[in-house]
Amino acid sequence: MIMAKIPFACGECHLILNDEVDQCPRHPSAQVSTEWTGYVIIMQPERSEIAKRLMVEQPGKYALKVSIR
Protein backbone atom coordinates (compact mmCIF):
# COMPACT_ATOMS: atom_id res chain seq x y z
CA MET A 1 0.00 0.00 0.00
CA ILE A 2 1.38 3.40 -1.00
CA MET A 3 0.80 6.20 1.49
CA ALA A 4 0.06 9.61 0.01
CA LYS A 5 2.13 12.44 1.42
CA ILE A 6 0.16 15.17 3.11
CA PRO A 7 1.12 18.54 1.62
CA PHE A 8 2.18 21.43 3.83
CA ALA A 9 -0.14 24.37 4.50
CA CYS A 10 1.05 27.86 5.37
CA GLY A 11 0.34 28.88 8.96
CA GLU A 12 -0.10 32.50 7.87
CA CYS A 13 -2.38 32.41 4.81
CA HIS A 14 -3.47 28.71 4.91
CA LEU A 15 -2.37 28.16 1.31
CA ILE A 16 -1.91 24.45 0.58
CA LEU A 17 1.52 24.08 -0.98
CA ASN A 18 2.41 21.94 -3.99
CA ASP A 19 4.08 18.57 -3.46
CA GLU A 20 7.65 18.70 -2.16
CA VAL A 21 7.33 22.44 -1.34
CA ASP A 22 7.99 23.28 2.31
CA GLN A 23 7.99 27.08 2.21
CA CYS A 24 5.11 29.39 1.34
CA PRO A 25 5.89 31.56 -1.70
CA ARG A 26 3.66 34.33 -0.31
CA HIS A 27 5.00 34.22 3.28
CA PRO A 28 8.55 32.77 3.18
CA SER A 29 9.14 33.29 6.92
CA ALA A 30 5.83 31.72 8.04
CA GLN A 31 5.73 28.29 9.64
CA VAL A 32 4.18 25.49 7.59
CA SER A 33 2.46 22.35 8.84
CA THR A 34 1.06 19.04 7.63
CA GLU A 35 -1.50 19.24 10.44
CA TRP A 36 -4.39 20.99 8.77
CA THR A 37 -8.09 20.28 8.30
CA GLY A 38 -10.69 21.28 5.76
CA TYR A 39 -10.03 22.03 2.14
CA VAL A 40 -11.44 24.75 -0.05
CA ILE A 41 -10.63 25.87 -3.56
CA ILE A 42 -11.23 29.57 -4.09
CA MET A 43 -11.51 30.61 -7.70
CA GLN A 44 -12.97 34.12 -7.40
CA PRO A 45 -12.01 35.56 -4.02
CA GLU A 46 -13.82 38.82 -4.64
CA ARG A 47 -17.13 36.92 -4.88
CA SER A 48 -16.56 34.36 -2.12
CA GLU A 49 -17.88 34.60 1.45
CA ILE A 50 -15.39 31.94 2.55
CA ALA A 51 -12.55 33.96 1.03
CA LYS A 52 -13.69 37.00 3.01
CA ARG A 53 -13.76 35.00 6.26
CA LEU A 54 -10.30 33.54 5.57
CA MET A 55 -9.06 36.95 4.34
CA VAL A 56 -7.98 35.37 1.04
CA GLU A 57 -7.29 37.73 -1.86
CA GLN A 58 -5.77 35.32 -4.40
CA PRO A 59 -7.25 32.19 -6.02
CA GLY A 60 -5.87 28.87 -4.81
CA LYS A 61 -6.26 25.82 -2.58
CA TYR A 62 -6.58 26.61 1.13
CA ALA A 63 -6.88 24.76 4.43
CA LEU A 64 -9.67 25.90 6.72
CA LYS A 65 -7.61 25.31 9.86
CA VAL A 66 -3.83 24.95 10.25
CA SER A 67 -2.27 23.73 13.51
CA ILE A 68 1.20 25.05 14.26
CA ARG A 69 3.07 23.65 17.27
Strand partners, 16: 9
Contact 36, 10 (CB under 8 A): no
Helix (H) or strand (E) holding 32: strand 32-33
Report the pLDDT value the prediction gives residue 64, as an integer from 0 to 100.
Answer: 94
Q: Per-residue pLDDT for 69 more than 90?
A: no
DSSP strand pairing (65-66 vs 40-42): unpaired
Domain boundaries, the chain: 9-66
pTM equals 0.88
CATH code for the domain defined by 9-66: 2.20.28.90
Report the pLDDT value the prediction gives residue 15, as an integer from 0 to 100.
Answer: 97
pLDDT tens digit sequence for 9-66: 999 999 999 988 999 999 999 999 999 999 999 999 999 999 999 899 999 999 999 9
Contact 60, 3 (CB under 8 A): no
